[in-house]
């Protein structure tokens, strides 16, 4: 994933926070996400679950997309949201559902525009 994600922090906020961008790119999406004990798919499932539970809506679109790239299906993402409605609460689940719909619609639109 380091090669795939290489430089995303630098591109998004490297101009204002270069050290944080480097940590993001080399440590988080480098060392942490590439450590082999957990698969990329498992890491995506864990990350999406935690972001929903913690109501971290800004990061959800990126991680829904990354989860799909890492082998999660749309149905699995919706099943996670449904499951977490009972553990994380209805508002975080409904918000995550809205974001998932937006991401799925964007992906569908991107696919038709190619």
Residue 114's pLDDT is what? 52
**pLDDT, tens digit, 9 for 90 and up, residues 11-67:** 989 999 999 999 999 999 889 899 999 999 999 999 999 999 999 999 999 999 999
Residue 85 near residue 96, CB atoms below 8 Å: no
Report pTM.
Answer: 0.85
Homologous superfamily (CATH) of 38-114 is AhpD-like (1.20.1290.10)
Residues of the chain with CATH 1.20.1290.10: 38-114
């Amino acid at each position: 994933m380091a090669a795939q994600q290489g430089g995303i922090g630098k591109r998004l906020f490297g101009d204002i926070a270069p050290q944080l961008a480097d940590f993001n790119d080399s440590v988080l999406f480098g060392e942490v996400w590439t450590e082999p004990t957990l698969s990329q798919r498992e890491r995506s499932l864990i990350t999406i679950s935690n972001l929903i539970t913690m109501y971290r809506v800004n990061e959800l679109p990126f991680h829904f997309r990354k989860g799909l790239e890492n082998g999660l299906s749309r149905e699995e993402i919706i099943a996670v949201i449904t499951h977490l409605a009972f553990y994380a609460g209805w508002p975080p689940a409904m918000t995550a559902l809205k974001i998932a719909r937006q991401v799925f619609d964007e992906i569908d639109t991107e696919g038709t525009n190619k």
